[in-house]
C-alpha cells in the first residue's frame, strides 16, 4: 500500500514556500500542503483537519492567522512523541510579527490554539531566533525560566526541538508590562520587541 508524498508549508512568505515550484518539478505528483495564499499549494487543510505521513505519523493542521492570514502550524504525533512545526507563529521565547494580523489573533494562536497542545509537545519554529528573543526576554523578566533559556541559548546553536509548549508558558510576564488583559499584554510585548 503506497502513500502520496507530502510537503507541508506554514505560510505564504517566500522563506517558507519559495521552493514549492521546484519541489513539484523535481518530484512530480506530490501533495504540497499549505495556506491558501501559498504559491503552488495543492491542498489547504481546514483547521483541525488530520492527515497521515506514512503509516504512523498523524498530522493535525492548526490555523494560526496573524503573521500571515494563511499561517498554519502542524501538530504531529507518532505514538507518545509529539511535535509542532510553528512556522513564524511561535519561536522559542517569542512570536512572529503581526504583519497581517493583530494582538487578538496572536493571542488566540498562542494562548488558545497552541497552548491547548500537550505540554510535552516539542516546538520546531520556522527560524532560529532564540538568542535575539532571549535578549528581549531578559529585559522583561528575570524568571528562572528565562535564565535557563538564556543559559541554554548561549551554549547551543540550535534550540529547535529542545523546548516544549509547556516551557513557553510563563504567566509572570503579565506583571512586567503592567497589564492583565491578555490581548493588551500581547500587544505591549510585541511593541516592545519591535522597538528593540
What's the confidence (pLDDT) of residue 37? 86
Cβ-based neighbours of 21, under 8 Å, separated by 6 or more: 39, 40
What's the confidence (pLDDT) of residue 79? 93
What's the confidence (pLDDT) of residue 83? 98
Q: Kindly give the confidence (pLDDT) of every residue in the chain, 196 residues in length, as a single tens digit, with 9 standing for 90 and above.
A: 334 445 554 545 566 667 888 888 888 888 889 888 888 888 999 999 999 999 999 999 999 999 999 999 999 999 999 999 999 999 999 999 999 999 999 999 999 999 999 999 999 999 999 999 999 989 888 888 888 889 999 999 889 999 999 988 867 665 666 677 889 888 888 998 999 8
Q: For domain 6-195, which architecture applies?
A: 4-Layer Sandwich (3.60)
Element (H, E) at 136: helix 130-140
The Cα 52–Cα 58 span in angstroms is 5
The Cα 150–Cα 147 span in angstroms is 5
Nearest to 99 by CA among 13, 162, 170: 13
* Domain residue extents for the chain: 6-195
Residue 123 cell numbers, joined? 516546538
In Å, how far are 8, 46, 113, 115, 193 from 33, measured between CA atoms?
Answer: 5, 11, 20, 23, 31
The Cα 135–Cα 131 span in angstroms is 6
Q: What is the number of residues in the chain? A: 196
What's the confidence (pLDDT) of residue 9? 46
What's the confidence (pLDDT) of residue 175? 66
What's the confidence (pLDDT) of residue 4? 46
pTM: 0.85
CA 27 from chain centre, in angstroms, equals 27
Amino acid at each position: 500500500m503506497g502513500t502520496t508524498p507530502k510537503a507541508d508549508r506554514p505560510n505564504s512568505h517566500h522563506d517558507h514556500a519559495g521552493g514549492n515550484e521546484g519541489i513539484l518539478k523535481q518530484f512530480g505528483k506530490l501533495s504540497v500542503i499549505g495556506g491558501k495564499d501559498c504559491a503552488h499549494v495543492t491542498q489547504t487543510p481546514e483547521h483541525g483537519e488530520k492527515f497521515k505521513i506514512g503509516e504512523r505519523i498523524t498530522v493535525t493542521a492548526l490555523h494560526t492567522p496573524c503573521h500571515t492570514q494563511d499561517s498554519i502550524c502542524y501538530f504531529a504525533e507518532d505514538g507518545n512523541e509529539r511535535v509542532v512545526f510553528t512556522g513564524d507563529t511561535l519561536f522559542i521565547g517569542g512570536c512572529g510579527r503581526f504583519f497581517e494580523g493583530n494582538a487578538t489573533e496572536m493571542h488566540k494562536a498562542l494562548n488558545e490554539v497552541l497552548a491547548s497542545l500537550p505540554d510535552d509537545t516539542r516546538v520546531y519554529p520556522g527560524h532560529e531566533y532564540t538568542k535575539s528573543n532571549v535578549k528581549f526576554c531578559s529585559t522583561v523578566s528575570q524568571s528562572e525560566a528565562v535564565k535557563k533559556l538564556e543559559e541554554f541559548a548561549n551554549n547551543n546553536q540550535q534550540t529547535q526541538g529542545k523546548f516544549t509548549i509547556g516551557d513557553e508558558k510563563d504567566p509572570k510576564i503579565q506583571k512586567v508590562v503592567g497589564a492583565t488583559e491578555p490581548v493588551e499584554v500581547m500587544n505591549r510585548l510585541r511593541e516592545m520587541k519591535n522597538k528593540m
